[in-house]
Every structure is written in structure tokens, then in C-alpha cells.
Homo-oligomer: A and B are copies of this chain.
């Protein structure tokens, strides 16, 4: 079987070449092909894969209101000051029914909009499985192959999406802020295991000390072996650029640890394994969709509702039909 069709190979090759040469329109076009699940996706990935793998992929997550966009923007400025090419993927929560983005708070990113060495892309978090778009790792690969030294993936940290961003990124920054109420507190236990670096933003606000103290207490409780990474906690006021250099330094230190410990290779391999599995499952789901088309799943569902067949026997029929 063939996943994706081999049409228009030459134009994909040209696009990849232009993207590698730094043409932002080619980069944008490739990400669009990824987002729209283009039939050319296979050719796109085949063209990109040999050139990808050098970018540092940094995830930034946190609850709504902690200052993710401001921090992302400040990080872009800091990396640019080091002469690095930077890509930003802003993954918005969106209504799965309409596909429309809910949050459009990208205003602060506009300052970088005219910088030719910065690519910024908002991506919708579509699909009813998982908060992050399946296209995100592939879009990151586009930016990676296009020569970005750093790819920042910004996502709202609610529910499972912070886990997903951690699976996508080499280094995950978890942002917190004082005065966010119970939701943030409740999320901490999950966040603890996801964050490689913690940033307590709005450090000039009341209660920031308390958040830092809590975080320190919680990170101290995690059992670690001698060679394990110890998550730093950085106080920032992103709107004034305060603490951003220290944050960048922490990210760099984490990267050095990733390389030295072999964890970078492990994380990247796991990520590609997840991608392969997602593509394979997607292909199998498409076969299910074909079954939807000929009403077999509907008929099976109706029989389960009538109590005539159990859902496992029905699933067996489906598996047999697609494999």
C-alpha cells in the first residue's frame, strides 16, 4: 500500500530547496502542506528528513494567563541576539467542531514579524484525540530543515497538552505565575514531571515567592539518581525581559545535559517512533472511514445497541475487514 501519492515531486523538491535557502514563503507553503495533510506529505517528509535534526526544539507551556506569548517573544529576541535563526509554532486550542482558533493573542509577536530570520506560525490544535495537532512535529521538522537553530513550540498547558508538548520537545519550559488559583495548583503534580525548566513569570507580582517556594519543595521531593537532570526554577518578568538570559542559560545547560547523557537521542527516537505510529494508525483509521462509507460500522453499532452483539466482537469484524 502507499500512504500519500507521488504527485508533483519536482515542485516539492523545489520547495524544500527554497526553504533550505531561507525563503519564508517556501517554509510557509511546506507547513501548509503539513497542516492540510497534503497528498504530497510523504514527498515533503522524504525531502526534509535528510536535512533535519540539528534544531533545538523547545516547548513552552503553562496555564492561560501566565504570559506564554510574552515569554516566547522575549526568548525569540534573546536567541536572535545570539545570531540564531528561530522558528515559532504557536499551537492554539481550537474548537474541534469549527476548527476556529479561540485565542489570537499573538500581538506581541508582531515585533518579530519583519525579521527574516524568525519564522512564526500559529497552528490549530485539531482532532478529538489529544490537544496538540498531529501536524506539529512535522511542522517543527520543516523549520528544522529550513535551518532554524531553535524551534519554539508554545502551547496552552491544560489537560494532556502539556504532556504532548513534552513529547515533542527536547526541552520543555513550564511557565507558572502567581495568583492563578486552584487550577494551576492542581496541575502542578503533572507539570512537575513534564518540565525540564520552570519559569515563574510575573515575578514582581504578589505571591511569586510562594510559587517559587512551592515549586522548590515539590522538585526536592522527586527522587533522582546522581546523573539525573535537576530542574532549575527561574524567576522572570518577561514583559520587561527580566530573567530571560537566565532562562536561555538554563535551556542551554539542559541541552548540554541531553547530549552528554544520551537522553537527546532517546527523546528524538521516541518522538519519531510516536510519529510513525501515529501515521500508521491514521492509515488504519482511514480504512475504518472507508468502512463508515459502506455503513458497516453503523450496522455493527446498531446491532450492539440492540444487544445482539458485544462491542469486542464488532471490533473483531472491523479489524478483520481492514487487515
Contacts and interface: CB of A to CB of B under 8 A. Distances in A.
Interface of A: 1-4, 41-42, 45-46, 49-53, 63-65, 93-98, 100, 102-103, 128-131, 156, 158-161, 163-164, 167, 181-183, 186-187, 189-190, 193, 268-270, 272-273, 275-277, 279-281, 283-285, 288, 292, 297-298, 300-302, 304-305, 307, 309-316, 318-320, 322-323
A97 B193 contact: yes
Given A310-B42, A312-B42, A280 B318 contact: yes
A311 B160 contact: no
Contacts of A160: 96, 128-131, 159-160
Summarize A's interface: helix, strand, loop or mixed.
helix
Contacts of A292: 273
Given A285-B281, A298-B273, A311-B272, A305 B159 contact: no
B318 A128 contact: no
A6 to B, nearest CB: 11
A93 B159 contact: yes
Given A93-B186, A102-B187, A193-B95, A1 B65 contact: no
Nearest to A129: B129
A298 B271 CA distance: 10
Nearest to A184: B64
